A and B are shown apart, each in its own frame.
Chain A
């Protein structure tokens, strides 16, 4: 039953000219983390570009914009959540980036090590994001 379903999904993916890898039943942790590394990288890039462009295009200085946000009187839990949401992709990309650099040195490339370092990155990401958002 499940095989039939997957066969149809796969056919749909190929017909839609999507990469068949998106329809693979067994996603692996390294694969998912690699995609997230790219995703967070692009998101962070977009954020930096938005910041830079708005400095050029939007009138008013940074302080006035901050005052605007302050005037919204957002609750502390909402502010914490927002900070967490900002710092989480940065931390993930940073820690996974270090993992990439270690690979570039030729270390930690065995399959079990891939999974171990992957889990370590995820744990570090959550801990450091929570810590930084609390500052």
Chain B
């Protein structure tokens, strides 16, 4: 899937009309629709992936998901030094939430890339959801009943 994205990027600026959208995760069905709709005049050795308004399939869910993933990544990036400088209960719960969400979405991408077939993919995704939910529950339990993530790391490192 990442290779599709790079194809579009490498093909550079061709035609001002093309609305250039980078979608790291594109399902096979959507890709074939895009490629059929756009006859590329002046073929470069790679193909465009276009998204012009009249061919837009309607749902913004994938785009929002992509943006959400980046937002959580940046959030997590900021939380790590913040947790070091300002440990505490609020930081523990924020870390737990950001960590599990980031890993949940990351595992989701892995499943999307490697698990073929609709039914199997749904089943594995359900499994990932269960795992993420249990992980979050476990981390919250740890934060509440035990020392909490920040303190735990500090204690572990003092070993």
Q: Interface residues, chain A, CB within 8 Å of chain B?
A: 34, 38, 41-42, 44-45, 48-49, 51-56, 61-63, 66, 69-70, 79, 83, 94, 97-98, 101, 104, 109, 135
Name A93's closest neighbour in chain B (CB-CB): B106
Q: Which of B101-159 contact A (CB under 8 A)?
A: 103, 106-107, 110, 131, 134-139, 141-142, 145-147, 152, 155-157, 159
The total of interchain contacts (Cβ-Cβ below 8 angstroms) comes to 75
Q: Complex formed: what's the CA distance from A66 to B151 in Å? A: 12
In whole Å, how far is A121's beta carbon from the nearest beta carbon of chain B? 14
In whole Å, how far is A43's beta carbon from the nearest beta carbon of chain B? 11
Contact pattern, B 7-38, Cβ under 8 Å of A = 1, otherwise 0 = 00100000000000010000000000000000
Given contacts A42-B107, A97-B73, contact A55 B9 (CB under 8 A): no
Decide if B70 touches A52 in the complex (CB within 8 Å).
Answer: no
Decide if B138 touches A55 in the complex (CB within 8 Å).
Answer: yes
Decide if A62 touches B159 in the complex (CB within 8 Å).
Answer: no
Is the contact region of chain B dominated by helix, strand, or loop, or is it mixed? helix
Is the contact region of chain A dominated by helix, strand, or loop, or is it mixed? helix
**Chain A residues closer than 8 Å to B2, beta-carbon distance:** 34
- Pick the contact of B74 from A69, A79, A101 — CB < 8 Å? A101
In whole Å, how far is B128's beta carbon from the nearest beta carbon of chain A? 10
Decide if A48 touches B135 in the complex (CB within 8 Å).
Answer: yes
- Pick the contact of A51 from B80, B106, B110, B139 — CB < 8 Å? B139
In whole Å, how far is A5's beta carbon from the nearest beta carbon of chain B? 27
In whole Å, how far is B78's beta carbon from the nearest beta carbon of chain A? 12
Decide if A62 touches B135 in the complex (CB within 8 Å).
Answer: no
Decide if B146 touches A101 in the complex (CB within 8 Å).
Answer: no
Decide if A61 touches B131 in the complex (CB within 8 Å).
Answer: no
19 sample A-B contacts, Cβ–Cβ < 8 Å, listed by A number: A41-B106, A41-B110, A42-B110, A48-B100, A49-B103, A51-B139, A52-B100, A52-B134, A52-B135, A52-B137, A52-B139, A53-B134, A54-B138, A61-B145, A66-B155, A79-B159, A83-B157, A98-B77, A109-B9
